[in-house]
Amino acid sequence: MQTLMHDMLVPGANRFLGNLDKILDKAAAFAQRKEIDPSVLLNARLAPDMFAFTRQVQIACDMAARGVARLSGTDVPSFPDTETSLPELKARIAKALAFVNSVPAAKYAGAETREIVVPSRRGEQKFDGVGYLRDFVLPNLHFHLTAAYAILRHNGVELGKGDYLGG
């Protein structure tokens, strides 16, 4: 089943983080065309109590990379949250994808039953591998990708469903 766990996470992470990378290109072109400081987009949010666009991208990258690490039994990578520009966010996506693709499928052996412990503000969350992937990684990955998409769309960047889903 190791291939299944790998195949449930890695191709999707590549597809959707790759699509996010292209969305960032559209955001940069939009900002340039409209003569908007890109920091306006980077700091935008849909509601006062939600994370800004930059943080949404960072968390999406972390979800993919940490998911791979925990399911494959490898060290969880640390990506400092220091991005302040669209090019830096693109580099963050590239780093996350490089890590995601660096772990061979064979490392996922036993992943479906591996105990996964995730620290959080509410205390430790414990999962088996299947539950972690199904109930934590994939929903969180798509939540933050969707939030990033919605923030840009709300601010006028010309995006559609095809940009999120890809070709």
pLDDT in tens, 91-147: 999 999 999 999 999 999 999 999 999 988 899 999 999 999 999 999 999 999 999
Q: How far lies 45's CA from each of 4, 31, 63, 96, 147, in Å?
A: 36, 16, 20, 23, 9
Predicted confidence at residue 120, as pLDDT, reads: 87
Backbone torsions φ then ψ of 52, nearest 5 degrees: -75, 170
Alpha-carbon span 18 to 124, nearest angstrom: 31
What pTM does this model have?
0.95
Q: Please check whether residue 20 is in contact with residue 108, taking contact to mean a CB–CB distance below 8 angstroms.
A: no
Q: How far lies 34's CA from each of 17, 23, 45, 159, in Å?
A: 25, 16, 19, 15
Token pair for 119: 């620290």
Predicted confidence at residue 167, as pLDDT, reads: 76
Alpha-carbon span 109 to 72, nearest angstrom: 7
Amino acid at 126: K
Alpha-carbon span 124 to 78, nearest angstrom: 19
Alpha-carbon span 134 to 114, nearest angstrom: 14
Q: Domains of the chain, with CATH numbers?
A: 2-165 (1.20.120.450)
Residue among 139, 140, 164 nearest 151 (CA): 164
